[in-house]
């Protein structure tokens, strides 16, 4: 099955990012395809390389970057939501790219299921 994933909440303030990440890892381990992960609203905060959690905490941004590198998962950040939060291309973590809502629509069309995490 081919999944599209929508993440609407940022790391460390809501369970949505962790749940989305675990869902993607589980889906890939079962042989499913992740068509795209789209970060929208506060979810764009998952994409900034400026995040520095304490050493004893998980590094959510690095997890997503590693996943993109290892499995070639397309991580797309909504341009309008990112700019509203001061996130520009130069602060994106590796593996993320900025694009428009058309990428979310495209994911909904091409995937068998679009799974949403967060409000």
Contact 40, 79 (CB under 8 A): no
Catalytic pick among 78, 79, 81, 114: 78
Sign, CA dihedral 81-84-85-91, equals positive
**Is 78 a known active-site residue?**
yes
- Report in angstroms the alpha-carbon separations of 43 from 22, 93, 108: 15, 14, 18
- Known catalytic residues? 78
């Amino acid at each position: 099955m081919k999944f599209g994933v929508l993440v609407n909440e940022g790391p460390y303030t809501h369970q949505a990012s962790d749940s989305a990440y675990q869902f993607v890892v589980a889906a890939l381990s079962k042989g499913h395809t992740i068509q795209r992960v789209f970060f929208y609203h506060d979810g764009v905060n998952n994409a900034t390389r400026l995040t520095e959690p304490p050493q004893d905490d998980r590094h959510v941004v690095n997890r997503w970057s590693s996943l993109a590198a290892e499995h070639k998962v397309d991580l797309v950040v909504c341009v309008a939501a990112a700019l509203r939060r001061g996130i520009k291309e130069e602060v994106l973590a590796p593996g993320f790219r900025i694009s428009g809502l058309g990428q979310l629509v495209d994911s909904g069309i091409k995937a068998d299921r679009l799974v949403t995490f967060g409000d």
